[in-house]
Structure 1
């Protein structure tokens, strides 16, 4: 079986897929990629029928090589990248061969970048998925020297493609539907919450992110409420009135009141917001949220419409001058008589 060989690995690099939906009853949150749209976009770039497992990189990347020819896609947060020393653009697919060195450095925008082989990373599944879920003890962070098996590429001859990514790497508006305890916050508090420009805090990880704000805390009439089911997107208000948006690896039960829930379409924007970026909640109804919901199949179909054959940037072609760009040209020192 083909393998990815990891030579240098930044902190927080893990294998991720679309996670484990349907496991809340046994106390396991979905997990999976912090930005599931990145895996969907990778599937579109690679012309796959469904997303496959790849490597999630949190802020810093890795160096890798391959043991057999394969295609791969680079999606999610834009990161510095080079192939055999030459710059490589992001949001594209590329072909790798044994001996090639793919180096992925620091993030340029966003937080979570992804490298996804066309055959998908084929580590043994655990509870129906290959996603690393560190909070649940499923899998572990990647390290230098790891060899990751890769499945078969079903279309190995396809040329490199480029994708126009869905915009989500600079903060911005997030749509919030009512949650189970929304009514326990008075109307003035709810209005102030939805009118506040929050700053994504330095405090955050795959379990959730804190939203910093100026002004008074967000109080609620929720003393003594019982713990109940929570899920990614829920906005919990801690005891000091500070909101946290829960993400992929959140716990499954909680007792903090929830002022609302970020809809699934906007969770990638929350996950990709770097510390210091502004997130603005906008209240929508449950009916509006239902109308905005799209299945992964629909999202993949839409992503395919944003894919086109790659047009190489001349700045990324080190041997540009070796190409005959215009037929019939001559050197300036030639005699044309």
Structure 2
């Protein structure tokens, strides 16, 4: 019988996400999928899977969960407080969860989107090759307490836990971008100021995109008198809204728009943009198309490097309530075998 993931408590905004539905922009549907796609690749490496599977995306807060069959999970993305039956779990790692155990995931300590990926993936309705919820398009729905999500079989339930060191992409930083079809509409001085400005992620934002605030004048484009025709847009595009402030589009962005775009964030840096919490400082660095091509890596190559970086998970003795049940030094015992017969009778 197939296993299930039971949601005993679900914080707002929990959804099932995978790598999304690319190639449907012509039909008016953006790619969707995980806001931080790198987090799903990290889970793939930690669990030894061939390809990413559907996971839980948890914005800022997690919930309380239980499984009905033994299964490994990976915890990736924005670091969150997590414990299993009260014992702390390491983030960016894989763990075995047994039936009856309670997995609790709390608030993010940095970043926005955390991910819980079961080794067999979350099953359920599939449309256009994806199980991802796309709430803007009305596909799927946010999850709630009491939901039971069917799980696929764990291909290697006995595999040991793994840990993956990751670079910090959860506290803001540098976003590289390339020119787009409307970059030339922004005066040279405006483009130069854009590259030297420290922006702060505004409270306004969701899976469609994030707004950036800054001090100083607006970043205005020299628009033609007839205005701009609506054109196709993609995740990563940097729109300047009516007040001249940047808005970085994310996975559930619309597919056409009429705001001028100063450029596009490289796909490699889009997870950093998505994971920037309100108040995080972001800066932009312009790169050439040739440089962007050099930085681009196929998914297979990225997965290979992530797999190579994984190493066996070592439990922290401070978080092991069963520590004294282990034989810590070869040949050392509890001492009962040394008691004289009369003392042990």
* Structure with bigger gyration radius: 2
From 305, 309, 314, the equivalent of 1:306 is: 309
What's the offset of the Cα at 1:155?
A: 1.7
8 Å CA contact 2:7–2:66 kept in 1: the answer is yes
Structure 2: 5+ residue stretches without partners:
340-345
TM score, norm. by length of structure 1: 0.96
What's the offset of the Cα at 1:165?
A: 1.8
Counterpart CA distance in 2 for 1:136 and 1:294 is 30
Q: Higher mean Cα deviation, 157-166 or 71-80? A: 157-166
What's the offset of the Cα at 1:303?
A: 0.8
Say if 2:275 is the partner of 1:265: no
Counterpart CA distance in 1 for 2:165 and 2:332 is 35
Say if 2:232 is the partner of 1:229: yes
Counterpart CA distance in 1 for 2:294 and 2:77 is 26
Counterpart CA distance in 2 for 1:274 and 1:124 is 31
Q: Higher mean Cα deviation, 68-77 or 157-166? A: 157-166
- The CA deviation string for residues 234-267 of structure 1, in whole angstroms up to 9 with x for no partner, is 0000111111000000000000000010000000
Counterpart CA distance in 2 for 1:184 and 1:65 is 54
Aligned to 2:199: 198
Counterpart CA distance in 2 for 1:81 and 1:131 is 24
Give the match's secondary structure for 2:177: strand
- The CA deviation string for residues 164-211 of structure 1, in whole angstroms up to 9 with x for no partner, is 124311110010100110000010000000111110111111000001
Q: 1:161 to 1:330 in 2, by over 3 A?
A: closer
8 Å CA contact 1:175–1:262 kept in 2: the answer is yes
| Runs of 4+ with >4 A deviation | 327-332
Counterpart CA distance in 2 for 1:330 and 1:241 is 71
Give the match's secondary structure for 1:125: coil
Give the match's secondary structure for 2:42: helix
Counterpart CA distance in 2 for 1:330 and 1:40 is 43
Aligned to 1:209: 210
8 Å CA contact 1:233–1:264 kept in 2: the answer is yes
Counterpart CA distance in 2 for 1:269 and 1:50 is 22
Give the match's secondary structure for 1:183: helix
What's the offset of the Cα at 1:321?
A: 3.4
Counterpart CA distance in 1 for 2:53 and 2:124 is 12
Counterpart CA distance in 1 for 2:53 and 2:223 is 42
Aligned to 2:33: 32
- The CA deviation string for residues 13-45 of structure 1, in whole angstroms up to 9 with x for no partner, is 000000000000100000000000000000000
Give the match's secondary structure for 1:61: strand
TM score, norm. by length of structure 2: 0.94
Counterpart CA distance in 1 for 2:51 and 2:296 is 18
Aligned to 1:66: 67
Aligned to 1:283: 286
Give the match's secondary structure for 1:214: coil
Aligned to 1:293: 296
What's the offset of the Cα at 1:326?
A: 3.0
8 Å CA contact 2:172–2:281 kept in 1: the answer is yes
Aligned to 2:186: 185
Counterpart CA distance in 2 for 1:206 and 1:143 is 19
Say if 2:19 is the partner of 1:11: no
Counterpart CA distance in 1 for 2:239 and 2:111 is 23
Say if 2:320 is the partner of 1:317: yes
Counterpart CA distance in 1 for 2:321 and 2:154 is 29
Aligned to 1:167: 168
Q: 1:157 to 1:324 in 2, by over 3 A?
A: closer
Aligned-pair RMSD on alpha carbons? 1.6
